Structures are given as structure tokens and as C-alpha cells.
């Protein structure tokens, strides 16, 4: 028992200690690397401001001579400069590797190259339409320091492991009795028959803390089981709702198809039945498309680009306006940019605008408002109660099923919007009162970045190779 206890303590504490040291070293290295990147950006920004006017109006031959001069000048200061004319190296310059070709995108871009020797941090910055400046900073000393610190941490962990082994053996005898009870409690937890009375008597030492940990673990397991049960219930409700949503159009299609088989049905009735079948097929197609989109969003990650909110809302107003009957769509707010997927944000805006139009009566106005960190859709429609708001983002939930069915909705729009907001690290807030209209606001913390030295936008997103 003593040996086993000592082994368990070593297995518990040594990995924790090693993990702590590695995490600390990684955090320190990451912060140091970020500071080095900031210094490199500031230095490159100053060089860029100095050279931008110099290369304006130069011929190719003049530019080559000027590039050689500045390369020599800054090489003496420990800064490597490469100059490119129409993305072709000049003055003896050569790209360190193929990955650097991706930097020539027509705007400022950065690359952390950890795949070659030595490691470099590169910034490409167009001086004008012909000339591009590439600044290289050697950061291999940072990686060498990291390797040395890791070796030091390894020796520290090995020494701590020896001390832990000795202390574990000395304390094993004192721990034996309560540990037996803890072992029994653990076995009971494995069988699902855990009871707090199986634990050692309460105390303020480590055994007491471990006993409390067992209680907390048991509570966490029960909470996890509760969440799994709730998730199973939600899935079942989704399946039930899906079956219900499909049953009505399928039954209608079956009935109309049998009527069409009747030779006694006149031409007008056949035309009407065909129209009804087309509407039911369209409803099933829309249901399938939205379910597929909702399923794909559960596994999708956002590829961020710079999205202008105001033009996006104007496009939504034009698209949805064709479907609005006597409802005016207005776009307000100031110009703002977000970092995200334009396709997904447009899909969210369309769904919110369609919901607002469906909830509004003739003569009403739906406002699409641009915000500094998102956008909002306001209507003057029927509104919702607090209970309806609480369930609004559940799949197939409909505050007014009759109105939603007449308007052609399937109850998945807000579910899609909520998932899109989550993918953009944002929130979807609903404010509404019955008869007073509804305001749905999307906000996100994702904003485009700018260079600290020059204030010019950095290529978005900044490409940095993984460590």
C-alpha cells in the first residue's frame, strides 16, 4: 500500500509540476515573442516612412542603386532589408523561402517563419505600386533561449520528482487508513453507489481536501449527467418538431396527389392542386436547406475578412424588400467594420429582417441599424412575451405558429442567427414587448487591427506560422 501510494503521489504531482513549468515557459516565450513582433513592426514602420517618399518617381535603375545603398546602411545596424520591383527581387535580394511569396498581397503583411534556419519575422510593405520593402528580423535567439529554459525546467522537474518520491514514501504510512476509505469511496463512485458517508471524517488537512474533492467530483458527474439528459431531451424535441413540421406538407402532398389521380377532377381544380403541391414542396425544400445550414454551422469555423456593416445591411434591405408586402425597410447608422464571414453575417441579417417583416403589419417600418460592433433589426410588429423570448432561439419554436406558417417560415431562422453569432464570438439579444415591436441586436468583440507605429491597416488576418 505504501509503495502504491507513493507511486500515485509521484504520478499526480510530477506531471502537474511539469505542466506548470511548461505552461509558464510557454507563456513567457509567447509574451516575449509578441513584444519582439511589436518592436519589429514599429521599426519597420519607421523605415517605411523614411523610404516611401524616396522611392516615389524612381526609375528601375535608380531604384536598384537606392535599394543597394539602403540595404548596406541598415545591414550595418543589424536590419536586413530586401527590395522587390513588381514582386521580383533586385539588388542581390532573394526570398529566404517559398512561404514568403504569400506576403506579396498588395498591402502590409507579416509572417513568422519557424520552418527554416534561422527563424525570422518578416514584414512586407508596398512602397508604391512598383516597389515593395521586405524587412527581416532574426528571432532565432528567442527560440534558442526557449530550448535552454526547457532543459533547465527538465532538470528542475527531475529533482522535484526525486523529492516527491521520498516525501511520498514517508507520508504513506500516515495516509494509509483514510486512503483505504477513499479507495472504497472511489470504487463506490465507479459502481454508481457513492455516498458521502463512505469518506473519511472531515478534517482540515490534505485528506479532508481530497474528501471534499470527491464530493465535488460526484456533484460534477451528476451535473454532467443532467446536462446529457437535457441534451438528449433537446434532441428528441428537435426530432419531434421535425416530424411534426414534415407531417403536414407530406400529408397535403399525398392527398393532393391522390386527387390528381382522379380523372373526374376538372382542369381548374388540377391547377389549384398543383399550386398547393408546389408550395408544399417549396416549404419542404426550405426546411431541408435550413436544417442543412444549421447542421453545418455546428462544425464550421469562421474565416475572417473585413466586413463593412452598412453596405451589407443595404443589400439585405434590397433583397428582403422584394418579399415585403407594404412594409418599409430602412437602413440607419454610421459606417463600421467587423471581422467575420460576410456570407454568414449576411445570412443572419436576412433572417432577422425576414422575421421582422413577417411580424409587422402593412404600413409599418423595419429599421436595420449599423452599430460600431454589430447591427440591430427593429420592427413595430406584434412583439413577444418574456417566455417567448426565452425559447425564441430554439429550433422550430414559433411565437405565433399560424402567422409563421402563413408567412412561409419554418422556425429555424433565429436558431441559425444564434449559431452565427456564437461563431463570431458575439451575442444575440432580443428586446420585445407584446404589441410594442421587437429589437434583435447582434454584437461582437471582433474588430480589425491596425499597426501601432504607422496607423496603417495590417493585412487581415495577419498570417503567423504555428510554433
Residue 168 has pLDDT above 90, yes or no: no
Q: Output the pLDDT for position 313.
A: 94
CATH of the domain at 281: 1.10.287
**Domain around 308:** 302-444
Q: Is residue 436 scored above 90 in pLDDT? A: no
Q: From CA 99, how far away is CA 373, in angstroms rounded? A: 34
d(C-alpha 226, C-alpha 220), whole Å:
10
The confidence band for 62, taking pLDDT boundaries of 50, 70 and 90, is: confident
The tally of domains found in the chain comes to 3
pLDDT beyond 60 at 454: no
Q: Is residue 255's pLDDT more than 80?
A: no
Query: Which cell goes with 1?
Result: 500500500
Q: Of 373, 374, 375, 356, which is closest to residue 365 (Cα–Cα)? A: 356
DSSP bridge partners of 367 = 330, 378
pLDDT of 5 reads 62
Q: Which of 17-26, 111-120, 135-144, 357-366 is the least confident region? A: 17-26
Backbone angles phi, psi at 361, to 5 degrees: -90, 170
Last residue of a domain, one of 109, 143, 177: 143
Residues 281 and 397 in one domain: no
C-alpha cell at 197: 458517508
Specify the pLDDT at position 129. 87
| 301 to 297, 341, 397, 444: CA distances (angstroms) | 8, 10, 26, 15
Alpha carbon distance 148, 29 (integer Å): 12
Are 310 and 381 within one domain?
A: yes
Instruction: Please report whether residue 110 resides in a domain.
Output: yes
Q: For the ranges 10-19, 25-34, 54-63, 396-405, which has the lowest average pLDDT?
A: 396-405
Q: In angstroms, what CA-CA distances link 79 with 33, 75, 353, 382, 446? A: 17, 5, 54, 66, 33
Q: How many whole angstroms separate alpha carbon 403 and alpha carbon 384?
A: 13
Here the cell at position 233 is 431531451
Band of residue 246 on the pLDDT scale cut at 50, 70, 90: low
- pLDDT-derived band of residue 26, with 50, 70 and 90 as boundaries? confident
Residues 299-318: tens digit of each pLDDT: 556 677 889 999 999 999 98
Last residue of a domain, one of 265, 291, 317: 291
Mean pLDDT of the chain: 77
Going by C-alpha positions, the residue among 73, 68, 79 that lies closest to residue 137 is 79
Among 259, 291, 323, the domain-final residue is 291
pLDDT above 90 as % of the chain = 8
Helix (H, G, I), strand (E, B) or coil at 328: strand
Residue 101: count other Cβ atoms within 10 Å of its Cβ: 11
**E strand or H helix that includes residue 56:** none
CB 429 within 8 A of CB 440: yes
Are 423 and 366 part of one and the same domain?
Answer: yes
Higher pLDDT, 50 or 285: 50
Residue 208's pLDDT is: 75
Q: What is the band of 161 on the pLDDT scale with cuts at 50, 70, 90?
A: confident
Phi and psi at 87, nearest 5°, equal 65, 15
My answer on whether 287 and 318 are in the same domain is: no
242 versus 280: the higher-pLDDT residue is 280
d(CA 436, CA 391): 19
Q: Tell me: the pLDDT tens digits for 190-221?
A: 777 777 777 777 777 777 777 778 777 877 88
Amino acid at each position: 500500500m505504501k509503495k502504491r501510494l507513493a507511486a500515485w503521489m509521484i504520478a499526480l504531482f510530477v506531471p502537474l509540476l511539469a505542466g506548470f513549468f511548461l505552461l509558464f515557459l510557454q507563456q513567457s516565450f509567447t509574451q516575449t515573442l509578441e513584444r519582439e513582433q511589436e518592436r519589429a513592426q514599429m521599426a519597420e514602420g519607421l523605415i517605411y516612412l523614411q523610404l516611401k517618399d524616396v522611392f516615389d518617381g524612381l526609375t528601375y535603375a535608380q531604384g536598384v542603386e537606392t535599394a543597394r545603398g539602403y540595404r548596406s546602411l541598415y545591414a550595418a545596424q543589424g536590419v536586413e532589408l530586401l527590395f522587390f520591383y513588381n514582386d521580383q527581387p533586385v539588388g542581390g535580394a532573394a526570398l529566404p523561402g517559398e512561404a514568403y511569396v504569400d506576403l506579396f498581397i498588395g498591402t502590409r503583411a507579416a509572417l513568422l517563419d519557424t520552418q527554416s534556419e534561422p527563424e525570422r519575422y518578416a514584414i512586407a510593405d508596398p512602397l508604391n505600386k512598383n516597389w515593395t520593402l521586405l524587412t527581416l528580423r532574426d528571432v532565432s535567439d528567442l527560440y534558442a533561449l526557449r530550448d535552454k529554459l526547457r532543459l533547465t525546467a527538465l532538470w528542475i522537474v527531475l529533482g522535484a520528482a526525486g523529492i516527491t518520491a521520498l516525501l511520498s514514501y514517508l507520508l504513506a504510512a500516515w495516509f494509509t487508513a483514510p486512503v483505504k476509505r477513499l479507495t472504497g469511496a472511489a470504487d463506490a463512485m465507479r459502481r454508481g453507489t457513492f455516498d458521502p458517508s463512505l469518506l473519511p471524517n472531515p478534517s482540515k488537512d490534505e485528506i479532508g481536501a481530497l474528501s471534499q474533492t470527491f464530493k465535488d467530483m460526484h456533484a460534477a458527474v451528476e451535473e454532467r449527467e443532467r446536462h446529457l439528459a437535457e441534451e438528449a431531451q433537446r434532441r428528441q424535441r428537435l426530432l419531434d418538431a421535425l416530424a411534426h413540421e414534415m407531417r403536414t406538407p407530406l400529408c397535403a402532398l399525398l392527398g393532393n396527389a391522390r386527387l390528381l389521380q382522379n380523372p373526374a377532377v376538372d382542369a381548374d381544380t388540377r391547377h389549384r392542386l398543383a399550386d398547393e403541391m408546389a408550395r408544399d414542396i417549396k416549404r419542404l425544400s426550405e426546411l431541408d436547406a435550413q436544417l442543412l445550414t444549421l447542421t453545418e454551422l455546428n462544425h464550421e469555423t469562421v474565416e475572417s475578412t473585413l466586413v463593412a456593416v452598412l453596405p451589407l445591411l443595404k443589400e439585405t434591405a434590397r433583397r428582403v424588400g422584394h418579399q415585403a408586402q407594404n412594409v418599409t425597410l430602412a437602413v440607419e447608422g454610421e459606417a463600421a467594420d467587423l471581422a467575420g464571414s460576410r456570407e454568414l453575417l449576411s445570412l443572419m441579417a436576412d433572417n432577422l429582417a425576414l422575421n421582422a417583416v413577417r411580424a409587422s403589419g402593412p404600413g409599418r417600418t423595419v429599421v436595420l441599424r449599423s452599430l460600431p460592433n454589430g447591427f440591430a433589426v427593429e420592427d413595430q410588429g406584434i412583439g413577444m412575451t418574456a417566455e417567448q423570448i426565452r425559447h425564441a432561439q430554439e429550433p422550430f419554436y414559433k411565437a405565433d405558429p399560424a402567422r409563421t406558417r402563413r408567412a412561409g417560415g419554418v422556425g429555424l431562422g433565429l436558431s441559425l442567427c444564434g449559431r452565427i453569432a456564437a461563431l463570431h464570438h458575439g451575442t444575440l439579444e432580443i428586446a420585445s414587448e407584446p404589441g410594442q415591436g421587437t429589437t434583435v441586436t447582434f454584437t461582437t468583440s471582433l474588430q480589425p487591427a491596425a499597426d501601432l507605429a504607422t496607423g496603417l491597416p495590417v493585412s487581415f488576418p495577419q498570417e503567423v506560422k504555428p510554433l
